[in-house]
Each structure stands twice: as structure tokens, then as C-alpha cells.
Structure 1
Amino acid sequence: MSAVRPGILLVLDGWGHAEPGEGNALAAADTPCLDRLLATPAAVLAEASGSAVGLLPGTVGNSEIGHIVIGAGRPVPYDSVLVEERINDGTLRSHETLGAALTGLAATGGSLHLIGLASDGMIHANVHHLRELLRIAALFAVPEVRIHAITDGRDVADGTAAHHLATVEGYAAEAGVGSIATVIGRGYALDKSGDLELTERAARAITDGAGHPVGKPEEALATSGRGDEWVEPGVVTGGDGQPLGPVRDGDVVLFTNFRSDRIQQLADRLYGELAGRGVTFLSLAQYDTEAPIPALVHRADAGGGLADRLAECGVRSVRIAEAEKFEHVTYYLNGRKADPAPLEEHIRISADAPPDYRTAPEMSIGRVTEAVGSAARRDDVPLVVANLANIDVVGHTGDHAATVRAAEHTDRAVEALCRVAGETGRWVLLVGDHGNAEKMLTDAGEGRRPYGGHTTNPVPAVLVPAQGRQAVRPTGTATLADIAPSVLSLLGLGPAPAMTGRALW
């Protein structure tokens, strides 16, 4: 233990790189500390999207896969890639569990309910997966398919929901089966804050048809004063004025998001009410729900990474983040393992900011900084890992000015933590997990629109060496897979056998 060289790993969520220009909130912000660090020889740009991290080529990065790869030390095939493979090789059509459920519907006259995000952001879902699911439903002669479309405005440009709803309707017409039964903003259906009242409103629309009645799906979009994310639960009615798609006894519910974290609150809520009524539940990819929902596509193994290596070497670590990103520095960084590894401490900072982070772009960064500093001053903690969430969380609002302020709060936190590191003899490694705030305008529809989604841009990675040490400039192409080997090397430990990344410093 005496040979371990202590340090701090800081993940700056949404910290991407792009040349200064219109819409680049990071370049517009006053960030003297980060600017100074990025000008040092120890700074490098790392690939954080596409095949470099286990995504489809050209796919934007995201927090989940970013932290998985940071922790695994290798690219990990993402759930979206695995779903695409099952679609392309035809094995989804021959899936035994799915086939049995759809055969039952064909025999009983029941309905298949497809619930998921209707956008092509590739962060939580891909609307194009609906095309194959509708084709499969038609193949099995399912009499009714009800689509419960969740509008986005976060992973894709706000104001594009009408386009994506039209895409869904086009797929249904092509397959000859399916209709949109509800339209619900992701602020309600994909709540992650634990606000069960929001989830309840989404659930009531799906289960009972209780919501704002509309004759056509696109009419629901007019109910939101805050963009696509906050479209109030809308219920499409038929010619008789009755809701088209409440879930009935014996129906089948299939969640189409390939990412678990934001849909699982709704999934557990619906399961709790409907499973006892003979409703069958399935998910396109594997979820972390409390409810036992069978997955059509299972995950790739992400173990054997940083957490396992630290445990093997008997190295204590402390993981710190706000609620928005807490599971990223724990569950995802640890290879999607639910329980803390040995000698691992978790500190979750409860958020004080309201859901609209435009009014409080500082979030709880002061308390995160204080917690990181306290852990760094402990002699028994060789590694402190923290996520500074502001740039990404505020960036998702699409509010350029608020995101500029979020970056400035982040800069001051980094400066404070670098001082603590200097006082305690620690190195600091900063890295982004994906791009976001460096691109806050996009061309979508007519003219340029505010953009709060992720990007394919590389992310900065920079080492602040401990006092008395120097860091050489890394050579070659860097990716997020290089972060875990770098952390282990900085600690004075060797990499885990499963890691394919390399130590950059």
C-alpha cells in the first residue's frame, strides 16, 4: 500500500472539444483553470464516440457507455449495437420468448404495446428499431399494436418531435399494423429524479387512457410550453371519443429503449399494476428494474476493469457524484455491478436544484467539491473518483447562457480541487465522458435550433501531476479505453488482463 501514489479522477460530464464558434458554450465561458490545463503538454484529445467506445460508427457518445469504457479499459459493445446485430442477422425475429408472446396475442386478439422514446438520438433509444418490431408483429399476425410514443427534445434537437412521430406513423403504415395511442414527454415518462408524480401521469395515460385527449398524435405537441421534453401526457382517441390504447388484461407490453436508467422507473410502475392482470412484460434490451422483465437482447460483459483491479490490489476508493450521475461513477464505472466493490465507499450528493437547471446551473457542485476535498485529505484513500455533472446536465437544457455559467462553476471547482491535490500530494486526471456543451446549435428543420444533445467530438483528457513530477505528452490516438490503464499506472499498479487500452502518462 505504501507504494501506491494517490490521485483524483474527475469526469467532467459533457466536456467535449470543438473549435470556438457560434454555439460553443465551453469556448464562450470564462474558464481560466481549464484553459491553462488544456495548454499543458499533458493534455490530449480522446475519442469518446462511435466504434472507439463500442457504439455504431458515427454514433454520439453518452454518459453510460462513457463511464463503462472509462472503467473497463476497453471498448464494450453497447446495447444499441447488440440490438442492431440481432435485427440485421434476423435472430430477433426468431426469438423464442418474443415469438411465444406474439403468438399468444394472435390467438387471443390482444394488443402489443410498444413503449419507448421516439427519436433517433441513439442515447436511450432508436426510433428505427420500431420498424423491425412492427414488421415482426405483422409477421405473427398480431391484431393490434399500440405505440406509446415518448417525445424527446433532449437527446435530439427540440422541436423535432413532429418529425419523429411522422416517422413512427410511416413505419406502421409500411408494416400494415400499429397506431400511436399516447404521446408523452420524456420529462414525465423518463423521470430519473424519483418524482413518482411525473411517472404516475405517464402511467395513467398508458394504462387507463387518462390524459389530454387528442384526435391526432401531433396535436399533443401543442400542450407543452417547455418543448418536446415536457409534452403533457396525451391520449389519442378514436371516432367514438374513447382512448385507442389502454392496456387490457392479457396484453403484452414491450419497452423499446435499449438503455435502462431512465425507463426503469416507469417500467417498475407499470409492472406493479399490470402483471397481476395477466399482462406479459418484455424489454428490447436488459434493464435494471426491480421487476423481473425478460430481455430480448442481453448485455456484453463489462467486468474485469478498474474496480476489480483495485479490489484485487486492496486499494480503497471513494466515489462521489450528484444524484443525476451517481450511478455512473459507481454502477457503470464498475462494469454494471450493483454492489460496491470491496474497499469502495459511495457518497451521493442530494441535488438542491430544481428540475429546470437553467435557473441553477451551479447545481450542487459546491457540495461535491467539498466531499472530494474531504476524501482527498484522507491518508487511507488512494483514489477519489468524482463526476462533475454541470456541463452535461445544464447543456441538455439547450440554454447557451446557462451552460456557459455551468462551465464557469465547473472551472472554479476544478481549480479548488487542484489546490487540494497540491496540498495532499495527489495527481489529478480530468477527462470528459462525451461531447455536449461545445455544440449547442444544430441545423434541424427550418434554420438553426438550440441543441442540447451529445456529439461525436473528442473529449479532453489532461493530467495534473503530483508536485515534483512531470507528465510527458501522450503519443498516438487516445480513447476513453485508455483512462483506466492510466489511472492504474499513476497509482503505481499494472493494468487488468482484460484491458486493451494503454497508459497515456
Structure 2
Amino acid sequence: MTAKKTALLLILDGWGHRDATDSNAIFAAKSPTWDALWQDKPHTLIRTSGLAVGLPEGQMGNSEVGHMNLGAGRVVYQNLTRIDKDIADGSFVSNPVLTEAVDTSIQKDSALHVFGLLSPGGIHSHEDQIVAMLELALTRGAKQVFFHAFLDGRDTPPRSALAPLLRVETLLAQSGCGRVASICGRFFAMDRDNRWDRVEPAYDLLTRGEAEFTLSNVETALAAAYARDEDDEFVKPTIVGASAATVNDDDVVVFMNFRSDRARELTRAFIGADFDGFERKSLPALASFVTLTHYADDIVAPCAYPPETLVNVLGETLAAQGKTQLRIAETEKYAHVTFFFNGGREEPFSNEDRELIPSPDVKTYDLQPEMSAFEVTDKLVAAILSHKYDAIICNYANGDMVGHTGDFNAAVKAVEALDACLSRIVAAIEEA
């Protein structure tokens, strides 16, 4: 077999460029390999936010958006933009999936539960879209509307949840037909690494009303969490109000996250036929579970905004030319180099292999800034030297995941770990 000369697309997730050196982990780190590449090799800068990647002007980019645009090789207009446009032109209120969900709850005289990351961040959701959904429900006559708020503090400042919570609490209180029923940090409700011990408390909060804390309103609930030194992301499941508003038989759920990767696990806990993440003490027989966007091919649920089909993405083009390709990443970014890079397609293309390296089992990645980068590098170097693949797409998660912790020293260590990996990769490419 003729040896292949491999083309490598190496994605350093969360790695940016900034001339200012203050609080700049990449500048502060000892990174001789990166420095040499930057000095000696051709390079350029690309925009990864706003209109350049199909987002509203001024909206920060994110991993999902970046990978989808990279894989498509062109600007892909994102779900945030699609949904915001519908809200602006008034068509959101007549979305057939959303209106049917509300009408079903009215016809069955059951509760409508709205879940979602209540955040202005625009990465996984947007508070304006959640408010629009609640207003839609109230306008159509829903009488039992319960909002279960997942708190951000990761794509937003760590203690910034009060304003959006008060906004929703006021809206529902004025209607007389609903309330904020619970709050919970995204650490629990929005895991994506099969850490089911995190998801289970969120599920039990929603289905059984089990929570360590019960407070009368969102302001006292959030203040109590902050007093426990819990930032928004880590707020423990908390019931808001005199009693729990649990998800029961015949109820309707609308999950308002538009980004899929951190919505999948909780969704599967509710409607997954073969779910085995944990023992579900309660499994309500829902009238409907609606997702705002398409979360996964194995999640069978009404979807308000189905995916727009992308054709001629890079993976498809390589396959059409009979080329071999490998996608490789650790768990945190595996969906990004597969599902998102392929334009929202779950199945591999012809001659597309995939390599998943487990992410480390730590609470936060500042505790292990190298994450699984060295293991990813072992597999990547072996693949390069095998001459098996025409193209390899590889993601290193450290810049993004460690950067999100806000620990500067850990971020520096992450950069230095990646630089050591880059040294091995460059050597392998030169040898191959």
C-alpha cells in the first residue's frame, strides 16, 4: 500500500491571540514550540465571532459554532441567529411545535415546564428566547407554567444570575399563571461527559422535588447559594417557592437550550428508552417533551427548529474523493470534531475513523490542566506515523476548558502542556 502524506488540521480549542500581555496565559507560558511556529511559519488570524461565523454582530463565538464553520468552509448561520430573527419578525409565536406544546398542556389541564440555561451568554441559550417562550405560553392561555432555571456563570460572570432570574420571576408573577420553580447550576443540569452523579440530582429535583434547599423566592435562593460560596455554575439544586413543582404524568416539557451537547444527557434521562445513566426513581409519562433544536439522532422528540442541511462539508468532500480521515479528541470535544464538524451529522462518512480519549474524572480542569492531552498526543502521533490517513482533524480541549475555570496559573500550565504536545506532533510530521 502506498504511504499517505497526512494533512493535519489541529484545533487548539480556546486558544486566541491578543497583543496585550496582561492576564495573557499564552504569553506568560513557556511555549518554545508555539513561539517557533509563530516566528518561522506562515500564519494569519481569523475572526471567530459575530457575523464572521453566522452570529449577530458583537456576539462571542464558541466551540460549536467554530467547528461548524470550519467543517463547512463557509459562514453557517447559527441557531441563535435563526431564532432571534423569528422573535424579531413575530413568527416565533406561531412556531407549530411550540404552539402545539402549549396547547397540549392546556387541553390536558396539565403543567407546562420550561427548562433552560437562563443566561445572556448566547452560547447554549439566550434569556430573551426563554422569555419569548414564556410569553408565548401565557398569551396562548397556559395556566400552569413553571420555569426551571439552569444558571450559567461560565459564559457569563460567575455571580450574575440575579437580574435574569428577577426578569423571569416578575413576568410570571404578573401573569398569575406561573412561577420560577427551581434553580440549579449548569454543573449539574448540563454535564456532557457522562458524569451521571451530577445529572441525577438535577433530574431528581425536577421529577421528585428532591433538593437540599428550599427558599421562598429567587433572590433569597440565590443569596443563600452565594453565602454557601456557590457561584452560579455550581448552585446546588434548590426549590423555589412553598412547595416543589415537579414534572408529572401528562405534563409538557420544553427544553430551551439551542446548543445540543450539554442538553443531551438530561433529555435522555427524561425520554431515553434504553437509559442506563442512573436508576430513575420517577419516570413521568409526559404528554410531550419538546426540544428547541435537534439534540441527537437517538433523541426522538418534537423539535421546534430542525437542522438546516449542510452539504459539501469537508468530511463529505474527503469521502467523495475516496480519502481516508481520522477525527480524534478527548470526551469534552469529541462531539465537536465529529457531529459539529460534520454539519450536525451523527454518522461518520465513508472512510472516516474516530478516536475518543476519555477526559479525566476531576471536578474542574484547573485540578488537572493537562487534561488528556498527552493521551490524545500518543494516539495522534501513532496515526501520523501509520501513514493510514489522508487527513486528520484533532482537537485539544485545554485552552477552552481550563480557561473557563478562571484559574490563571492553571491556564499557563495548560498552555505549557500543549506546547510539549506540539513538539511531539511537529517531530512526527517531519519524520513522516
TM-score (norm 2): 0.92
**How many residues get paired?**
420
**CA–CA distance in structure 2, aligned partners of residues 339 and 289 of structure 1:** 9
SS of equivalent to 1:17: coil
Q: Aligned partners of 2:3 and 2:235: how far apart in 1?
A: 56
Task: Tell me, in whole angstroms, the C-alpha distance in 1 between the residues paired with 2:31 and 2:230.
Answer: 30
- Mapped to 2, the partners of 1:423 and 1:187 lie a distance apart of 43
Quote the Cα distance in structure 2 between the aligned partners of 1:172 and 1:33. Answer: 55
Give the drift of 1:4.
Answer: 6.8
- Give the Cα separation in 1 of the matches to 2:230 and 2:412: 20
Aligned partners of 1:100 and 1:85: how far apart in 2?
21
- Does the Cα contact within 8 Å between 2:4 and 2:387 map onto a contact in 1? no
What displacement does 1:19 show? 1.8
Q: Measure how far apart 1:360 and its partner are.
A: 0.7
Match of 1:403 among 408, 411, 414: 411
Give, as a single letter, the amino acid of the residue that structure 2 aligns with 1:358.
D
Instruction: Name 1:98's counterpart in structure 2.
Output: 98
CA deviation after TM superposition for structure 1 residue 355, in Å: 2.6
Equivalent pair of 1:78/1:299 in contact (CA under 8 Å): no
Tell me, yes or no, if the aligned pair for 1:131 and 1:172 is still in contact at 8 Å.
no
Q: Give distance in 2, aligned partners of 1:77 and 1:128.
A: 19
- CA distance in 2: counterparts of 1:302 and 1:98, whole angstroms: 24
Q: Using a 3 Å threshold, how does the CA distance of structure 1 residues 149 and 347 change in structure 2: closer, same or farther? A: same
Question: Per the alignment, in what secondary structure is the counterpart of residue 188 of structure 1?
Answer: helix
Tell me the residue number matched to 1:122: 122
> CA offset at residue 407 of structure 1?
0.9
Partners of 2:170 and 2:297 lie apart in 1 by: 31
Q: Give the whole-Å Cα distance in 2 for the aligned partners of 1:110 and 1:353.
A: 40
CA–CA distance in 2 between the matches of 1:107 and 1:320? 48
CA-CA distance at 1:353 after TM superposition: 4.4
Shift of residue 159 of structure 1? 1.1
The amino acid of 1:204's aligned partner reads D
**Counterpart position of 1:236:** 240
Residue 140 of structure 2 corresponds to 140
Cα distance change on mapping 1:232 and 1:7 into 2, 3 Å: same
Cα RMSD for the two superposed structures: 2.0
The reply on whether 1:391 has 2:402 as its aligned counterpart is no
Name structure 2 gaps, 5 residues minimum.
273-279
1:300 aligns with 2:304: no
| Match of residue 422, structure 2, among 410, 414, 423 | 414
Q: Does structure 1 residue 288 correspond to structure 2 residue 324?
A: no
Paired amino acid for 2:98: L
CA contact (8 A) 1:13 1:389 kept: yes
Q: Counterpart in 2 of 1:314?
A: 322
Map of 2:265 onto structure 1: 265
* Distance in 2 between residues matched to 1:206 and 1:186, nearest whole Å: 14
Q: Which residue of 2 aligns with 1:7?
A: 7
Q: Deviations over 1:86-128 (max 9, x none)?
A: 2122222112232233223334432211100011111101011
1:214 aligns with 2:218: no
The alpha-carbon deviation at position 283 of structure 1 amounts to 1.5
95-104 vs 401-410, greater mean Cα deviation: 95-104
Give the drift of 1:275.
7.5
* Contact 2:5–2:387, Cα closer than 8 Å, also in 1: no
- On the 8 A contact 2:207/2:284 being kept in 1, the answer is no
Tell me how far 1:276 sits from its aligned partner.
5.9
In structure 2, what is the equivalent of residue 247 of structure 1?
247
CA distance in 1, matches of 2:239, 2:180: 9
- Change in CA separation of 1:343 and 1:100 when aligned onto 2, cut-off 3 Å: closer
Is the CA contact 2:104–2:252 (under 8 Å) kept in the aligned structure 1? no
Deviation at 1:295, TM superposition (A): 1.0
Contact 1:180–1:236, Cα closer than 8 Å, also in 2: yes
Contact 2:68-2:343 within 8 A present in 1 as well:
yes
Alignment of 1:459-470 (within 5 A): none
Q: CA deviation at 1:174?
A: 6.2
Which 10-residue stretch deviates more, 217-226 or 346-355? 217-226
Distance in 2 between residues matched to 1:3 and 1:75, nearest whole Å: 34
Distance (whole Å) between structure 2 residues aligned to residue 297 and residue 161 of structure 1 = 27
CA offset at residue 80 of structure 1?
1.1
Q: Distance in 2 between matches of 1:132 and 1:176?
A: 17
Is 1:354 equivalent to 2:352 in the alignment? Answer: no
Measure how far apart 1:208 and its partner are.
1.7
Per-residue CA distance 1:224-257 (angstroms, 9 max, x = gap) = 544211111001132xxx22x1123222100010
Residue 175 of structure 1 deviates from its aligned partner by 5.7
**Alpha-carbon distance in structure 1 between the residues aligned to 2:339 and 2:104:** 37
Q: Which residue does the alignment assign to 1:19?
A: 19
Alignment correspondent of 1:461: none
SS of corresponding position for 1:302: coil
Contact 1:323 1:351 in 2 (8 A): yes
Q: Is the 8 A contact 2:307 2:344 kept in 1?
A: no
Residue identity opposite 2:425 in structure 1: L
C-alpha displacement at 1:357, in angstroms? 1.0
Distance 1:3 1:51 in 2: 41
Alignment partner, residue 433 of structure 1: none
Query: Deviating runs (4+, > 4 A) in structure 1?
Result: 1-5, 173-177, 272-276
The corresponding residue for 2:352 is 344
How far apart are the structure 2 equivalents of 1:175 and 1:412?
58
The 5-angstrom pairing of residues 102-181 of structure 1 reads: 102-173=102-173, 177-181=177-181
Q: Which amino acid letter does the alignment assign opposite residue 77 of structure 2?
A: P
Which amino acid is 1:90 matched to?
G
Counterpart of 2:353, as a letter, is E
Equivalent position of 2:375 in the other structure: 367
**Partner letter of residue 233 of structure 2?**
E
Q: Which has the higher contact order (CA 8 A, sep 6+)?
A: 1
Q: Partner of 1:47: helix, strand, or coil?
A: coil
CA distance in 1, matches of 2:105, 2:392: 52
Please identify, of 179-188 and 129-138, the stretch whose mean Cα deviation from structure 2 is larger. Answer: 129-138
Amino acid across the alignment from 2:321? C
CA distance in 1 between partners of 2:19 and 2:230 (Å): 30
SS at match of 1:46: coil
Q: Which amino acid aligns with 2:236?
A: E
1:324 has 2:328 as partner: no
Higher alpha-carbon deviation: 320-329 or 19-28: 19-28
Taking the aligned partners of 1:331 and 1:100, their CA distance within structure 2 comes to: 29
Instruction: For 1:40 and 1:172, locate their aligned partners in 2 and report how far apart those are by CA, in whole Å.
Output: 59
CA contact 1:191–1:199 (8 Å) conserved in 2: yes
Greater mean alpha carbon deviation, residues 103-112 or residues 305-314: 103-112
Deviation at 1:329, TM superposition (A): 1.1
Could you tell me the TM-score, scaled by structure 1's length? 0.79
Q: Check conservation: 1:307, 1:341, Cα contact below 8 A.
A: yes
